[in-house]
Amino acid sequence: MVAAGILLSRIAGLIRNRVFAHYFGTSDAADAFNAAFRIPNFLQNLFGEGVLSASFIPVYAGLRARGQEEEARTAAGVVAALLGLAVSVLVLIGVLFTPWLIDVIAPGFEGEKRDATIRLVRILFPGAGLLVLSAWCLGILNSHGRFFLSYAAPVIWNLAIILTLVWFGGRLSGYPLAEMAAWGSVAGSLLQFGIQIPAVLRLKGATGPTTLRAGAAVRTMLANFWPVFVGRGVVQISAYVDTLISSLLPTGAVAGVSYAQVLYTLPVSLFGMSVSAAQLPAMAGATGEEGARAAELRVRLTAGLRQIAFFVVPSAVIFLALGDVVTSALYQTGEFTRDMALYVWAILAGAAVGLLPSTLGRLYASTYYALHDTRTPLRFALIRVALSLLLGYLFAVKLPPVLGLELRWGAAGLTLASGLAAWVEYSLLKRRLQDRIGKTSMPFSYLAWVWTAAALGAGAAWLGRDLVPVQRPLIGAIFLLGTFGLVYLGVTTASGLPEARRVAGRVWRGQSAGD
């Protein structure tokens, strides 16, 4: 259900980005909108799903597992009250101090581009506050085993932006159209929050801010909150480092990184987030003595790692070998040209290096959160950000001239640096957790089969590239990615991997039902 909801929301997001690319391409207005959106999005990500999942769900789910429904209801109300108060204050501060934030986030923006970015940030900030409250709804729904609605709700947010662009796109362009898209985002945020509230009220009745009495459960949530808050802040700072450095590159770099980010976060969200979100309440509700609980965590973690790798490894290979096919099919329309698709492919290939560790790291972090340990992931996140900053500046700004490349190609070096830092963080998370609950890594033979099957799929797709006209990117993507998928699934199924047989069985049952 998590994967289905995320898939729908991500498909809507891809459609939104295709429509956005049609009207903006890699223009100054596209750079301004994407940079502006990152600033209030920082608020959403900082207080939203990641922090609440780590600090709220383990305690809330644990209370419900022990039958303490009243205390769980009270804790949910206190969290909602504190969250609403904190977000309101931060939105106000953000709107007032927007010019100074722009100087920090996008120092390379000047003149009209900078002024437009300031206006866009001030429009977007209230919408981000509403999305934070949507994350509180997600925490309640997930703890009750209701996964689909909370992860599918962003569809309505994407739809609001799409309809705004289509409605005004024929009459406006450039910065005025970007401002209308920002207002569409705010309207979508309100709708996304509103669509979840009825289900939350039906599940728990008075889950709103009815009391501020902080019991032991609330104190535990707050104790867990701050390390995760800082940790998420560190990760978000890493994303803003990408924006800061890319703003120093020529026009199109900020937009190019944003277009690529939509693609490489798709498998992270669809597979890493779905498995982690589904496992966290179950891990947090595990009971028994320490040895039995550790054994249950190992079983769940190992199964989750295999499940993630089965889908993320081929995703990384597709981004490396067939990234131009993907970007052309999704973005090549209107102002977005073939050359722009190749540029985004280079950025996407750099990000593919860190795709697997970034996704597996989510599940490892969720396991720490289930153990009520939020400080260990924080320490390793700090190391990742420091490496991303150092390597990102070297690879994006210093390395291209040394290699005789145009400076704009530094955007690919930026995502490559982030990928290398992700490998370091993943290794640290894995090693420390194994000291606590025992070995959880995947067998070498399993990874060998998965990587081999993905490589064979990429090779088969490359052989068919000449059969597809460049002028028909969507047809080419269907043919080439379909070839890749058939070869990958065929090889992994023949090798006896249970994950492949489950997927093949579902496909076969679906065909049989259709017949």
* Alpha-carbon span 132 to 189, nearest angstrom: 9
Say how many CA atoms lie within 13 Å of 293 toward its Cβ.
14
Nearest one of 25, 15, 480 to 255, comparing CA atoms: 25
pLDDT of res. 206:
47
Query: For 407, which DSSP code?
Result: G
Sequential pLDDT tens for the chain (515 residues): 667 777 788 788 888 988 988 898 878 888 888 888 876 666 666 665 556 666 677 777 777 767 777 777 777 777 778 778 888 888 888 888 888 888 777 777 888 888 999 999 899 888 888 887 887 887 788 777 777 787 788 899 999 999 999 999 988 888 999 999 999 999 999 998 888 888 887 776 544 444 444 466 667 776 666 666 666 555 566 666 777 788 778 877 888 888 888 888 888 877 877 777 777 767 766 666 777 778 888 888 888 899 899 999 999 999 999 988 888 888 887 778 888 888 999 999 999 999 999 889 888 888 888 787 878 888 888 888 888 888 988 998 888 888 888 888 888 898 899 899 999 999 999 999 888 888 877 888 899 999 999 999 999 998 888 777 666 788 888 889 999 999 999 999 998 888 888 876 665 554 444 44
How many other C-beta atoms are found inside a 10 Å radius of the C-beta of residue 76? 27
Q: In this predicted model, what pLDDT tens digit does every residue of 459-475 receive, in sequence order?
A: 999 888 877 766 678 88
* C-alpha to C-alpha distances, 221 to 62, 82, 115, 215, 372, nearest whole angstrom: 12, 12, 40, 10, 9
Angle between helix axes 57-65 and 355-370 (nearest 10 degrees) is 50
Answer yes or no: pTM beyond 0.85.
no
What's the confidence (pLDDT) of residue 207? 41
Per-residue confidence (pLDDT) for residue 459, from 0 to 100 = 93
* Dihedral angle of Cα 349, 350, 353, 354, to the nearest 10 degrees: -120
Q: Any idea where the domains of the chain sit in the sequence?
A: 2-207+214-439, 446-515
Alpha carbon distance 386, 373 (integer Å): 22
Retrieve residue 275's tokens.
């498995």
- Is residue 18 helix, strand or coil? helix
Quick one: CA torsion of 116, 253, 125, 86, rounded to 10 degrees?
-140
Q: State the pLDDT at residue 429.
A: 92
Angle value at C-alpha 136, between 273 and 83, nearest 5 degrees: 125
CA distances from 259 to 256, 265, 326 (A): 5, 10, 11
C-alpha span between 385 and 425 (Å, rounded): 9
Q: What is the CA radius of gyration of the chain?
A: 23
Q: How far apart are CA 31 and CA 39, in angstroms?
A: 13
Among 273, 286, 255, which residue's Cα sits nearest to residue 62?
Answer: 286
Q: Looking at residue 258, what is its pLDDT?
A: 81
pLDDT at residue number 512: 44
Question: To which H or E segment does residue 363 belong?
Answer: helix 355-370
**Whats the size of the chain, residue-wise?**
515
Q: What is the pLDDT of residue 261?
A: 82
Closest CA to 2 of 358, 339, 366: 366
C-alpha distance from residue 461 to each of 316, 322, 421, 500 (Å): 15, 8, 30, 20
pLDDT at 152: 82
Helix (H, G, I), strand (E, B) or coil at 396: helix
